[in-house]
Amino acid sequence: MTRIGRSVLAAGLVAATAVASWGVTVVAHAATTPTATFSRVADWGSGYEGRYTITNGGSSTVGSWRLEFDLPAGTTIGSSWDALLTSAGQHHTFTNQSWNGTIAPGASVTFGFIGNGSGTPSGCLLNGQPCGGGTTPPTTTPPTTTPPPTGTPPPATTPVAANGQLRVCGRQLCNRNGKPIQLRGMSTHGLQWYANCATPGSLDVLAGEWHADVLRISMYVQEGGYETDPRRFTDLVHSYIELATARGMYAIVDWHMLSPGDPTYNLTRAKTFFAEIADRHRDKTNVLYEIANEPNGVSWGTIRSYAEQVIPVIRARDPEAVVLVGTPDWSSLGVSGSGGGVDTIVANPVAGGNLLYVFHFYAASHGDAYYDTFARAADLLPLFVTEFGTQDYSGDGANDFTMAQRYLDLMAARKISWVNWNFSDDFRSGAVFTTGTCGSGQFSGTGRLKPAGSWVRDRIRTADDF
């Protein structure tokens, strides 16, 4: 199932070269000194994704950079990438990472952030000088409404635009018209370790090149996750929901509890977290809630009791959203232990509608017994595979593409949605990118994909007929 003891990578994000085209733009007036331009890449009313592009218009190489600005009261920064951020009240300072400080003549680098609120940066200084160049204060041009960044599909063709608010009809996940559909996508790795792999640039590739329908936002509760800094991790999840929304993908909010395996250990935390997430995003049609990743060591009765306490917190705020409920023994439908199997769940289901039960598998470890249980459950329960791999249960080792394809064929026939683990450059074979990809920012194409990455990319790209 989900892995323990992962190595921690230093978070460092890619330096891009394109200026995004939405929003307020600070105009550069001088070509002989470095200048900076600001764009709103996406805006969702209560916040936005902002980017600065720093351009060296001179004849000498820039060795480092420092950009600072003020935000008005009521607007804060939720997360940032491709720069080191320090803040003092409403004053925010971004400095280069070790790998993107040098800017050759004529070259550019970018960094970005999520603004919580509507306020636009003001008083921008780059290396102590006005961001527009020289000593002339920057001016602004009116917002434009050109298309989203390259790689992002136009809104009319996105999965969310095609399907709208999802619901569970019978044993199927259905779109707003009641048509059974299958979503296919990727899960992030733990945000505390691999946030540099889930960036605006990588998500452009996931949406635009891979044609993914769904992003699973994997927020660990323990293992250096939510319990260490609830505010930071809640804000990260807010940010990733907005990034997925801007790209037309569905977003699964994964409460990634694993150890301890009793979900009631985190009951109070879960209620607090899901109350805020559901309250903030209640008007969206693309958010699904996975309330317990892999319960283990407890009975189905305990899991059901936990679900029936957390789900009302979500329903009070987001009554139409689909909720995903983990199943016994690492979401194996009870095959990996004795916490209760399919018959137990069928006889004692979680109260309420719009619910899907979760199954996880790793093809090199989970053979016929797991497959047969899953196939039987598909006749009795509404299911969603929120995590699977082509390797063993550690997410590593040799790929068993044959067994994995058996599962995918079954899921295609039954319209069971799935998400693959994981969209990172972890050294294990189950991470789709080769080690070092996330630091380089080179996500496009297939050159940096491991075998498992190429395999799952091909299968995500063959989208369901919406």
Give the catalytic positions in this structure. 294, 387
d(CA 321, CA 282): 8
d(CA 71, CA 78): 13
Question: CB under 8 Å to 230, separation ≥6 — which residues?
Answer: 269, 272, 273
Cβ proximity of 443 and 466 under 8 Å: no
Cβ proximity of 52 and 111 under 8 Å: yes
Q: Which among 207, 219, 210 is positioned nearest to 243, based on CA atoms? A: 207
Q: Which among 278, 243, 245 is positioned nearest to 164, based on CA atoms? A: 245
Cβ proximity of 134 and 120 under 8 Å: no
What are the structure tokens assigned to 354, written together? Answer: 């719009």
Strand bridging mode 355-362 / 383-389 = parallel
Chain-centroid distance, C-alpha 450: 20
Alpha helices (runs of H) in 251-378, residue ranges in sequence order: 267-281, 300-315, 328-331, 342-347, 368-378
How far, CA to CA in Å, does 145 sit from each of 18, 25, 45, 126?
Answer: 17, 12, 15, 27
> What are the start-end ranges of the E strands in 291-440?
323-325, 355-362, 383-389, 418-421
Q: Which residues does residue 91 pair with via DSSP β-bridges, in sequence order?
A: 70, 88
d(CA 287, CA 353): 16
How far, CA to CA in Å, does 354 sit from each of 32, 170, 306, 322?
Answer: 60, 9, 17, 5
> What are the start-end ranges of the E strands in 213-354?
214-220, 250-256, 287-290, 323-325
What are the structure tokens assigned to 54, written together? Answer: 């720093």
Cα angle 262, 267, 271; round to 5: 150
Q: Which residue has the tokens 């296919």?
A: 184
